[in-house]
Structure 1
């Protein structure tokens, strides 16, 4: 049976886009990677989070310009910006390039590994960036699923959630009153 599988591999033209091991051919199975919601592997990207510190002596508009520059760099390299949190100026734990403070920006985005090298190259070349750190959150992320909901969608869910909380609070107080009545407490 193993000989048959090896001969099958040798006689069948090799497709370089599809790599199958001998054990998979022997058992008649074929692995399918990234079969989530019918998407192809190429539609998934790596999910990254980068925290970078901008020179605190820059004005707010200049900081916004630096953030926009890196957002456009991500999009230019076929990436998707998921979320940008500006934490503002904060005191550093230790001095970095003779600065005691830094303008913190936390950015989440999806992209291919090549995007990361271009982004880090941009951070290293820009004098306005004091320090940066990137971590990989996920190997296979769907950028559309990670995008935050629209403001209208959040407003609707927020309005619906408030009455539900009030109802649950009233139900809890009724349960307490029932238990007090059973125990003889008034």
Structure 2
């Protein structure tokens, strides 16, 4: 079966449980039509580049899907009807990305504590040069 990535944006005033219910509903539509969701990721509430239907933020959800074209058509039809979804996009891919998506890796990197490290810049010696005593 063909592989797809389906991303939808839900209204900002929805609770996380309602967003999860939307993702579950999409999964049910696909399984009823002979497809399956390989991976589902919730990217969280994020700011939009511009307002969409009076929303400045939206809940992002991404689904990696293995389904026939008819299942994708039904998913898009029902997603288009749903008033809680403000935008969606489905693209066909050759293969799904292994591990977490780039958005999830970015969130993990942003949450990681930052150490001083040897990056130069602030603190320590000026310009990254070591004094002669340290060099020995």
Q: Structures share a fold, TM > 0.5? A: yes
Q: Structure 2: 5+ residue runs without aligned partners? A: 100-135
CA offset at residue 113 of structure 1? 0.8
1:70 aligns with 2:30: no
Q: Is 1:49 the equivalent of 2:13?
A: no
Please state whether the residue corresponding to 2:14 is helix, strand or coil: coil
Query: Given the alignment of the two structures, is residue 86 of structure 1 paired with residue 17 of structure 2, yes or no?
Result: no
* Higher RCO (C-alpha under 8 Å, 6+ residues apart): 2
Taking structure 1 as the reference length, the TM-score comes to: 0.51
**Ranges of 4+ aligned residues in structure 1 off by more than 2 Å:** none
2 CA distance for matches of 1:65 and 1:94?
A: 26
Report the TM-score, using the length of structure 2 for normalisation. Answer: 0.68
Task: Name the residue aligned to 2:133.
Answer: none
Instruction: Report Cα offsets for 1:85-121 as digits up to 9, x if no partner.
Output: 1000000001111100000011110111111110110
Task: Give the Cα separation in 2 of the matches to 1:65 and 1:99.
Answer: 20
* Separation in structure 1 between the aligned mates of residue 73 and residue 59 of structure 2, nearest angstrom: 23
Find the residue that maps to 2:2 and give its secondary structure: strand
Residue-by-residue CA offset, 1:138-184 (whole Å, 9 max, x unaligned)? 3xx7xxxx6x79xxxxxxxxxxxxxxxxxxxxxxxxxxxxxxxxxxx
Please give the alpha-carbon distance, in whole angstroms, between the structure 1 residues aligned to 2:69 and 2:14: 31
Report the Cα offset of residue 55 of structure 1.
0.9
Structure 1: runs of 5 or more not aligned: 1-44, 150-185
Partner of 1:112: 68
Q: Which has the higher helix share?
A: 1
1:156 aligned partner: none
Inter-partner Cα distance in structure 2 for 1:100 and 1:107:
23
Superposition map of 1:27-176 within 5 A: 45-138=1-94
How far does the alpha carbon of each residue in 1:24-61 deviate from its partner, in whole angstroms, 9 at most, with x for none? Answer: xxxxxxxxxxxxxxxxxxxxx00000111011101111
Count of residues in Structure 1 that have an aligned counterpart in Structure 2: 100
| CA-based RMSD | 2.0
Alpha-carbon separation, structure 1, partners of 2:30 and 2:12: 23
More strand by share: 2
What is the SS of the residue equivalent to 1:57?
coil
